Amino acid sequence: MQATTHFPVIVLGAGPTGLTLANLLGVYGVPTLLLERNVSTVDEPRAVSIDDESLRTMQAAGLVDAVMPQIVPGYGVHYFSWADKEFARIEPQSVEFGYPKRNAFRQAVLAAQLREGLRRFAHVEVRFRHELRSFAQDGGKVVLQVDHDGAPATLSCDWLVACDGGRSGVREQLGIALSGNTFAEKWLIVDMLDRKTPFRHTRTYCDPVRPAIRLPGPQGTVRYEFMLKDGETPEYVLDDTRLRGWIRDREPSDADLVIARKVVYTFHAREAERWQQGRIFLAGDAAHLTPPFAGQGMNSGIRDAANLAWKLAAVVQGRQGPQLLDTYETERKPHAWALIKMAIRIGHYMQPKSRLGAMAAQWALKLCSLYRPARDYVLQLKFKPKPRFADGFFVPCRAPDDAVKAGQLLPQPRVEWPGGARRLLDEALGQGFACVSWVGESLPEQAERLIAATGMRRVELVRPEDDFPWPMPQPRDGRVLVRDCEGALERLLAAAQARAVLVRPDRYVLAFLRDGDAARLDDLYARYAAAGRG
């Protein structure tokens, strides 16, 4: 049987970003080819933290039930001074998007789960040991010259997504520069197995002599990170006796553990100047490089995949015009850079240059903890940039500063289904667009026509203080009836003074429906209609 040579979408690179994108495209029914030059997915530890937004994307990909048992959910960070005294803790307890904010995981395990997840889709193909040699945009397609075990092959696609890492060959061939900086400091990373101590939280040692981090992980793993001094070479710091001595100073019981990996890293804070050129997109590390201090590098790549997948599906399947894809960079680039800047700030705090500087920073955090709003701002990770867009595919609206706005990721509370089961909201929203309103709420006729024409799922809410209607109405038009048992959606709609909230497939708010908003929503869809340019 002759192998397929043309695909609507080709994804280059089977790291977390590419694998997530391929799984989401599989869910959306888009024929996709995933190319990877290696023999399989990565089998070494790299990223070690997965956040609540990424777990929600795993939920959208239908894999969260497999992922959750393999992580350490809801870990915190304990900060220690140069005198090895704990002076602060960050242990976020709030759950905004359905999952804990910080979770330890093993990248090799997640990559294998995502790889196996692709077996669900007959329309998604994975080809390992395929290395891209060159490519060219030819009218309405991208033509790729690929090497497979020394044999050349020609493939083509309507859209190419390069998830080929920080040294992206696609980015280099396109001539797209990286802006930003590279940290002068290098770090030694040591991954170890079979730790004896059960302590689950990260320890950060803000020591000007040797800044260090200890990160326990799942299945008895633990990672150490040590900042190197000027003049220290990789050969010097990779010596087993020396690095085990540094580890013994922090946790004696870890000093003799099995070492799974040791490597010296240089950290970057860089972003590609363009994320799209014609029919080619950059995603993940190919588009942005984030210092690890905030644990957001891989998570930013998964956000790229979630943003781009449904847009590619809408264009490939003829529901929207190609100009919708222009909003990928518009929406994602500012947020990715905001997270890079946050990581830089945390890095400066973790890497004091002197004991005096360390004392000043640590006393400032202690003073902050005496004022409850400031303490909550730190302890609940409220300093993390909100997943919110300044511009893109949504209808802007005015709302109080602390309210959820259009263009922002919708919270995911639990809702109650008839029969009493309580499940996360996204199970009711489905895979595509959704309209959430009160049961029996009448929406403007123009909005109703647009909702029907676009195939939005109607999710009707029973108020927190009410029972389900009796007798139970028969489902119509695929509508779903659930109760707002936690009151979170009631508060959200009240803050926006809206009759309904319209939600995108990536769970960002498309629009709040108020008087007069239906026409603005109609205009938005017309602007990105399938009859548009492209």
Would the pLDDT of 376 be above 60? no
- Of 153, 158, 100, the C-alpha closest to 129 is 153
What's the confidence (pLDDT) of residue 446? 84
Question: CB burial class (10 A; 0-12, 13-18, 19+) of residue 97?
Answer: buried
CA 223 to chain centre: 22
Q: Looking at residues 180-198, what average pLDDT do you find?
A: 87
Q: By the 8 A CB rule, do 98 and 52 touch? A: yes
Structure tokens at 240: 């087993």
Q: Looking at residues 383-391, what average pLDDT do you find?
A: 83
Band (354; pLDDT cuts 50, 70, 90)? low
> What tens digit of pLDDT does each residue of 389-398 get?
999 999 998 7
Structure tokens at 78: 């304990």
What's the confidence (pLDDT) of residue 380? 47
Band (368; pLDDT cuts 50, 70, 90)? low
Would the pLDDT of 87 be above 80? no
CA-based angle 131:262:296, to the nearest 5?
70
Among 17-31, 124-138, 336-350, the least confident range? 336-350
Give SS3 for 301: helix
Give 518 or 133, the one with higher predicted confidence: 133
Would the pLDDT of 208 be above 90? no
Structural domains of the chain, with CATH = 6-70+107-177+270-342 (3.50.50.60), 414-527 (3.40.30)
What's the confidence (pLDDT) of residue 349? 61
Q: What is the DSSP string of 193-221?
A: E--S----SEEEE--SSS-EEEEE-GGG-
Q: By the 8 A CB rule, do 251 and 205 touch? A: no
- Of 215, 251, 245, the C-alpha closest to 78 is 215
What's the confidence (pLDDT) of residue 363? 58
Band (350; pLDDT cuts 50, 70, 90)? low
Q: By the 8 A CB rule, do 228 and 282 touch? A: no
What's the confidence (pLDDT) of residue 458? 95
Band (348; pLDDT cuts 50, 70, 90)? low
> What tens digit of pLDDT does each residue of 23-45 get?
999 999 999 999 999 999 987 77
What's the confidence (pLDDT) of residue 532? 42
For CA atoms 154, 159, 164, 166, the dihedral sign is positive
Give 533 or 157, the one with higher predicted confidence: 157
Band (364; pLDDT cuts 50, 70, 90)? low
Would the pLDDT of 154 be above 70? yes
Q: What percent of the chain has pLDDT over 90?
A: 65
Among 22-31, 167-176, 179-188, 401-410, the least confident range? 179-188
Band (143; pLDDT cuts 50, 70, 90)? very high
Q: By the 8 A CB rule, do 495 and 399 touch? A: yes
Q: By the 8 A CB rule, do 503 and 410 touch? A: yes
What's the confidence (pLDDT) of residue 8? 98
